[in-house]
Amino acid sequence: MYLMIREGTSEKNLADLLPLVDDRTASRCLFVVDDRSCHDLLEDGDIDAVVRKAIALGLDPIRAVQLATINAASCFQIAGLGAIAPGYRAHLLVCEDVSRPRPRQVYLAGRLVAEDGEPLFPAPADVDRRLTHSVNIKGLSRDSFVLDAAGPRYPVIEAIPGQILTARRLEKVIVEAGRVLPDPTRDILKLAVVERHQGSGRVGVGLVSGFGLKRGALASSYAHDAHNVVVVGASDDDMFEAVKRVESMQGGLVVVDEGRLLASLPLPVAGLMSTEPIEAVARGLAAVDDAARSLGATLAEPFAVLSFLALPVIPSLKLTDRGLVDVDKGALFDFTSLDASGG
Answer whether residue 115 shows pLDDT above 70: yes
Domain boundaries, the chain: 3-119, 132-337
pLDDT in tens, 34-51: 888 999 999 999 999 999
Answer whether residue 342 shows pLDDT above 60: no
Alpha carbon distance, N-terminus to C-terminus of the chain = 41
Q: What is the pLDDT of residue 35?
A: 84
pLDDT in tens, 52-95: 999 999 999 999 999 999 999 999 999 999 999 999 999 999 99
| pTM check: above 0.85 | yes
User: Mean of the pLDDT values across residues 224-249?
Assistant: 97
Exposure on the CB side of residue 118, measured as CA atoms within 13 A: 2
Mean predicted lDDT score pLDDT of the chain = 95
Answer whether residue 229 shows pLDDT above 70: yes
pLDDT in tens, 155-176: 999 998 878 899 999 999 999 9
Answer whether residue 285 shows pLDDT above 80: yes
Residue 327 and residue 312 in contact, taking contact as beta carbons nearer than 8 Å: yes
Q: How far is CA 75 from CA 25, 32, 213, 245, 323, in A?
A: 13, 12, 42, 42, 36
* Surface-to-core class of residue 146, CB atoms within 10 Å of its CB (0-12 exposed, 13-18 middle, 19+ buried): middle
Answer whether residue 340 shows pLDDT above 70: no
